[in-house]
Every structure is written in structure tokens, then in C-alpha cells.
Amino acid sequence: MELHSQGWNATFEECFKSFKQKGLKAGRVISKNKDIFLITVEEKSLTAKITGKFRFKAQFNKDFPAVGDWVVYERKENDNQALIHAILPRENAYVRKLPISGGRKFKKGMIEGGKTEEQVIASNINTAFIVIGLDNNFEIRRVERFMTLVYNSGIEPVIILNKVDLCFKVEEYINQIKEVADKVPVYSVSAGKNVNMDVFFKYLTCGKTVIFLGSSGVGKSTITNFLVGDRKQKTQSISTSTGKGKHTTTNSELIFLQTGGIIIDTPGVRELQLWGDEEVLDQSFEEIKQLSYDCKFNNCQHQEEPGCAIQKAINDQRLSQSRLNSFKKQLAELQKLNTRIRDFKKKSNKK
């Protein structure tokens, strides 16, 4: 398989130049299991470890290779394992906050206390499909949450309303979505009944990488299985070159489709937590941001202040109270998180 069909492009080529001169090669991380990585090596996959120097220099979790990364490796002749020297700069990454020390608790589904660090779940992604199940309680607030997460990661979102065969209110839901995300493509499909399923293929052209996000049971696996089809081509089925026909036990989480696209299917992708700067909300709550420019005070909290443009918009029914509440909730979550990150950075600088 050519590098290009694995997602390689001119930017990676440019970053790779200096390594290439040293005789090193480039491969993409298919999966990871503790400190063993499975990477693409020409037509095959091969297990790899990072060099001692790499480990020494890596400070944070995000400094280690993640699924989807392009890495620079060295392979000695007759060696059954490659050595990873570096990660090529990520074009983007799907990240989540990672609790890294004690004292943390789960409260209403959110982690409280403890320290947090950024963890890269997957990288170099072209499209994130936000999958919603039309059979369950349709919740526009959950869509907003996913939107924030995706924008924050620098990935293009596409909304998929699955199980259209079970729903008669599709138009109504699409309108609700258009209200909060008018620039994002929305498609209704049925993975189970094969309705409108060709919408995926224009995002899954040669070398393009996608992920599927969404709550449990919305149909992510059903969609993935549909796309993989009978012409299933998971990388682990490409013979691994671990010598003497010995197969590696690591599962491939980078699925190469016959049509040319690539699906990243790693367990971490399915979780839902916010991570990022408060500014990421400017995109997912653009109309609130716009309104806030007209507030009388720069630091308006949009409560009872005089001249608050947002409260006025609510009174005039141009903005819903629940939309504002959801903005405030996400903002509070991000502010709390960022305080913890600052504390963590202060501490690690002192070390």
C-alpha cells in the first residue's frame, strides 16, 4: 500500500525530509498497547517500540505516539521490530483530558479533583461523524457538546442522524440542528436498512481518515461494519511480518476500506469529555458570541446586568434560555478544567 493511500500528504513529506536523508522510514500507527505500537510498514504491519532517547525526551502523555500518527522508524535488517524515532507533527488530534493523579472523583459524569493532562486518542483526522440515534431521546444539547469537542480538535464535523427507519420527525430534528449548527452538513441514514448510506463515501475517498463519535447504541459499529462490508480489509489481516508466520495480538484500530478511506475505531474515541480553551465555545455558540459584543459591559456575565444583549435576546425570543444555560454549563466546565491545567503546569515546571 502506498503511503498516499494511508493518508500521507505534502505536509508530512516536508516534515519527513530531514529524517529521510538519514535513511529512516515513515509509517502510520495502527494501534497501541501500552508501549508496543503496531505501525504500517510498506505492504504490512509491524510491531514497534520507541527508542530510549524518545522516551527520555517525552514529558507528557501527548508526546507519545497515538493511533493515526505518522511516525519515523528505523528497521534493522532481519529485525522483527521497528524502532520509532519521532512523531511527525500532527495535523490535528482528537484529545481528551486524562486524570493523572489521585484525589479525583466522578460527579455527575464529570471528573472532579485530581490533576489532568491531555491525552491524544487519535490523530490526523479529516472528518468526524457525530452520530445521533433517532430512536432515542433526541437531545440537541448533546449534539452541541459533540460539536464543541470536534471543533476543539480542529476536525471537520458532519452530523449523521441514524435509524431514520424508526423516526417520523426527522425534519423537525434537522431544523433544530440547523439552528445551532447551520454550517455543518446533516444527513439522515439507516445503517440497519441501508438507506442513504452512500453519503459516507464522499468523505471516505483515498487516504481520507474519519472517526465516528456518539453515545452508546446510536449505531457506530453498525455503520462501520456496513462500510467495511464483506470486502473487509482490516490491517491485521494483511500478513504481519513478525517472522515465522507469528501473528501479533494487537488489534488494528485503523481500518483501511477497499474504497480508499480509513476509519479510526479506537475505544477512546467513544468517550465524551470537553477539553480546550474557553474560546472553542465561540465556534459552537457563535450566535451567543456575536450577541455578547452588544452587551454594555465587557465582562458581562449575562445574568441581571443592565444592557445585557443576551438577556434582551432571550426576552425577545431570539435566543432560548436552554441554549444559554448549555453555553454557561460548558463554559464553567472548561474554566474549571483550565484552572487545573494551569496548576498542573506550574507544578511540572517546578520539577
Interacting partner of 90 out of ligand GTP, Zn ion, none (Cβ under 5 to 8 A depending on kind) = none
> Which ranges of 39-193 does DSSP label H, i.e. alpha helix?
52-57, 140-152, 170-180
The residue within the footprint of ligand GTP, chosen from 75, 115, 220, 302 (CB under 6 A), is 220
Cα–Cα distance for residue pair 170/309, rounded to 1 Å: 33
Question: Who contacts 286 (Cβ-Cβ below 8 Å, separation ≥6)?
Answer: none
In terms of Cα–Cα distance, which of 110, 91, 68 is closest to 235? 68
Q: Is 219 annotated as a binding residue?
A: yes
Residues numbered 295 to 334 that lie near Zn ion (CB under 5 A) are 295, 300, 302, 308, 310
Q: Does 216 bind ligand GTP (CB under 6 A)?
A: yes
- The grid coordinates of residue 273 equal 469529555
Q: Which is nearer to Zn ion, 95 or 324 (CB)?
A: 324
CB of 170 to ligand GTP, least distance (A): 12
What secondary structure letter does DSSP report for 49? E
Question: Who contacts 186 (Cβ-Cβ below 8 Å, separation ≥6)?
Answer: 158, 159, 160, 161, 174, 177, 178
CB of 288 to Zn ion, least distance (A): 9
Query: Residue type for 1, please?
Result: M
Q: Is 292 annotated as a binding residue?
A: no
CB of 182 to ligand GTP, least distance (A): 25
CB of 294 to Zn ion, least distance (A): 8
In terms of Cα–Cα distance, which of 198, 189, 330, 218 is closest to 261? 198
Q: How many residues bind Zn ion (CB under 5 A)?
A: 5
* Cβ atoms of residues 22 and 102 within 8 Å: no
Region near ligand GTP per CB under 6 A, out of 102-110, 142-150, 159-167, 300-308: 159-167
Interacting partner of 295 out of ligand GTP, Zn ion, none (Cβ under 5 to 8 A depending on kind) = Zn ion
Q: Is 167 annotated as a binding residue?
A: no
Cα–Cα distance for residue pair 112/107, rounded to 1 Å: 7
- Which H or E run contains 110? strand 110-112
Paired with 307 in beta bridges are none
Q: Is 221 annotated as a binding residue?
A: yes
Interacting partner of 218 out of ligand GTP, Zn ion, none (Cβ under 5 to 8 A depending on kind) = ligand GTP
Which residues carry a binding-site annotation for GTP?
162-165, 214-222
Which residues carry a binding-site annotation for Zn(2+)?
295, 300, 302, 308
Write out the residues near ligand GTP by the rule CB under 6 A. Answer: 162-163, 165-166, 190-193, 214, 216-222, 270
